[in-house]
Amino acid sequence: MKEGKRKKVIKNGRRRTKLNLFEESGLPVSLYDWKEKLPELLLIVGLLENHSAKEVVEIFRNIGNLMRKRVEKEQVLGFGGGVSELGELLEKEDKAVRTTIKEEVGKIFCGINLSLLKVLDVPGKKVICEMLGGLERPKKNDLMMIMRATGVALHGQSGRATRTKLVQLMLCDPDCRRCHIDFDKLGKLVTGRDDDVLKEQGCASVRSTWGCMQGCKDERITPWVKSFWGFGLDIPCFGDTGRKGRDRIRLSREQRRLIDKIDRLWKTIVKSQPKHDLLCQGDVVLGLTCRVWRFMHHIVEASAAGNGEMAEVAARCQWDSTITLEWLIKRNAPELFSIFRMYSAGKAKATLEKLRANNDAYGSQELVNRLKNTLEGEIQEDIGIWEQLINEERGGWAKEGTYQMAEDLSKLTEYELYFRRLSDIVHGTWRALERYHLQKCLNPLHGGHYMGWTGATHDAGITVIHFGINMAVRVIKVVIDYMGPAADPKWKKRIDKIEQETNQLIIEEMRILRQ
């Protein structure tokens, strides 16, 4: 890519989407959903419970050899192990061939696959039942076996799913002309009978190669796949009967002692009534620091109550105020502090002007009058300046947004790790809903959907408490440095010691969590 030339992005309002690898390549490759393809490969999934990939391949190849005339006529390279594919070929064979391959079909439709045949209208079911000599009525255990097989393979990177994809690669490309994978060098992935293969070499290569070969096909969902998931939707959801999430956070003795030290130092600083030559500037610094310190306590209280969502909301507000304060101090421009202070009054005036200009759009005159009194109070009582002297404010309080402030402070990493991720919680995007308001349905035939969670709230873990304490320490240290000679030298020594203890505590507690 030439220097200065940016990649194209798809713009949709404020949303920008970077093109994925397939879209950038320009190749005729489409994305696929493993959940859609899984029902087609359930025969392989079922056989792999008691067989190795090599053994399963041999079973299907034997059928291919016995049906060679049909295979060669239709130019089929070999069985891919698909449910629809096997059913369609069996229905086309004459009685003599069916008798010949009866034993091999019996090897496929046993155990889990026999339950699949009993419960669902598998393609070619009538012919297969004739070959097997009839079937018993399905029982509850048959459904449980299907659910178990689907569950263990539902995650596309699980051991069973990986071995299933390997079997299909070996069946469809036995000479390795398309996939370029040396099957003889895959070791236990080929010969092992268990699904604990994720540490074996070649797993990622198998999955990615299979995905490319599947994605290049213009393959539509077969009626069997639709009927499989449709059957799943007809049976009930069931969720975890236990409590969602982790236990509520209880502060350790070291954490409580650290927070007490922070509280005592900050209260000492506040009692000294630190003033700046420009009182407005001092008020803003003091107010933002108090906010960051107070949010540390909000995070702790919310975590102690098991309310992780509120703790994360508080953490986002805390970081936002931290960046604002650090940016204002770095710029050290009196007019910026004044604009920051006047901004709320300017917003109130802008709202007031809208109400005056168009009463009908906002309700009756009586409602407008009530709101007007509130807004005028925010201007004249809180700021203490006549409304006529206040500028209307629309948009942000500064032309620089949060991203630009973080960039000016060389803290873009924090912006990505903290602000953007915690904004999910504030705005209620999917991460917030999935983590705090939903629980995953444990019925694997539902494809991993969610159920509403109406139980007790749960915490966000110890990390958010570490975050809250660290932000408070950081801001108090910034303010002491900002005060310069007006700050007591002992405060600097105290906050440096608290910072050192904070870092040591976080390192130790994270080490324990990783064990």
The mean per-residue pLDDT over the stretch 297-315 comes to 94
320 — pLDDT class (breaks 50, 70, 90): very high
Q: Is 210 exposed, middle or buried (0-12, 13-18, 19+ CB in 10 A)?
A: buried
- Amino acid type, 487: A
**Residue 415 reports pLDDT greater than 90:** yes
- Quick one: pLDDT at residue 504? 93
The mean per-residue pLDDT over the stretch 189-203 comes to 86
208 — pLDDT class (breaks 50, 70, 90): confident
Residue 391 is classified by DSSP as P
The mean per-residue pLDDT over the stretch 217-240 comes to 81
Residue 16 is classified by DSSP as E
Contact 70, 26 (CB under 8 A): no
Residue 9 is classified by DSSP as E
The mean per-residue pLDDT over the stretch 124-145 comes to 91
To the nearest whole percent, how much of the chain has pLDDT over 70?
82
Range of weakest confidence among 34-38, 254-258, 284-288, 355-359? 355-359
Contact 237, 249 (CB under 8 A): no
Q: Would you state the structure tokens that stand for residue 509, as one six-digit string?
A: 């507690």
For residue 18, what are the β-bridge partners?
9
Write the DSSP string, 74-138: TT--S----HHHHHHHHHHS-HHHHHHTHHHHHHHSSTHHHHHHHHS--TTHHHHHHHHT--PPP
1 — pLDDT class (breaks 50, 70, 90): very low
Sign, CA torsion 504/507/510/515 = negative
- Quick one: pLDDT at residue 5? 47
77 — pLDDT class (breaks 50, 70, 90): very low
Of 239 and 90, the structure prediction assigns the larger pLDDT to 90
Of 177 and 426, the structure prediction assigns the larger pLDDT to 426
Cα distances (Å, whole numbers) of residue 128 to 41, 131, 135, 165, 298:
17, 5, 10, 25, 65
- Quick one: pLDDT at residue 220? 61
The mean per-residue pLDDT over the stretch 457-474 comes to 92
**Residue 178 reports pLDDT greater than 90:** no
Residue 378 is classified by DSSP as I
**Residue 3 reports pLDDT greater than 60:** no
Sign, CA torsion 246/248/252/258 = positive
Q: Within 10 A of 429 (CB to CB), how many other CB atoms are there?
A: 11
Sign, CA torsion 100/106/109/115 = positive
Q: Would you state the structure tokens that stand for residue 448, as one six-digit string?
A: 């991993």
The mean per-residue pLDDT over the stretch 266-291 comes to 86
Query: Helix, strand, coil: what percent of the chain each, to 5?
Result: 65, 5, 30
The mean per-residue pLDDT over the stretch 13-22 comes to 69
The mean per-residue pLDDT over the stretch 82-101 comes to 84
Tell me the residue length of the chain. 515
3-state secondary structure of 395: coil
Contact 322, 289 (CB under 8 A): no
Cα distances (Å, whole numbers) of residue 227 to 32, 45, 234, 445:
19, 18, 11, 11
- Quick one: pLDDT at residue 359? 64
**Per-domain boundaries in the chain:** 34-233, 253-514
Q: Give the tens place of pLDDT for each residue, 364-388.
A: 666 667 666 666 666 666 555 655 5
62 — pLDDT class (breaks 50, 70, 90): confident
Q: Would you state the structure tokens that stand for residue 504, as one six-digit string?
A: 């040591």
Of 8 and 402, the structure prediction assigns the larger pLDDT to 402
Give residue for tokens 């809180």. Answer: 382
Write the DSSP string, 22-63: HHHH-SS-----HHHHGGGGHHHHHHTTTS-HHHHHHHHHHH
Sign, CA torsion 422/427/428/430 = negative
- Quick one: pLDDT at residue 198? 78
Contact 167, 48 (CB under 8 A): yes
Q: Within 10 A of 126 (CB to CB), how many other CB atoms are there?
A: 13
Q: How large is the greatest C-alpha to C-alpha distance in the chain, in angstroms? A: 102
2 — pLDDT class (breaks 50, 70, 90): very low
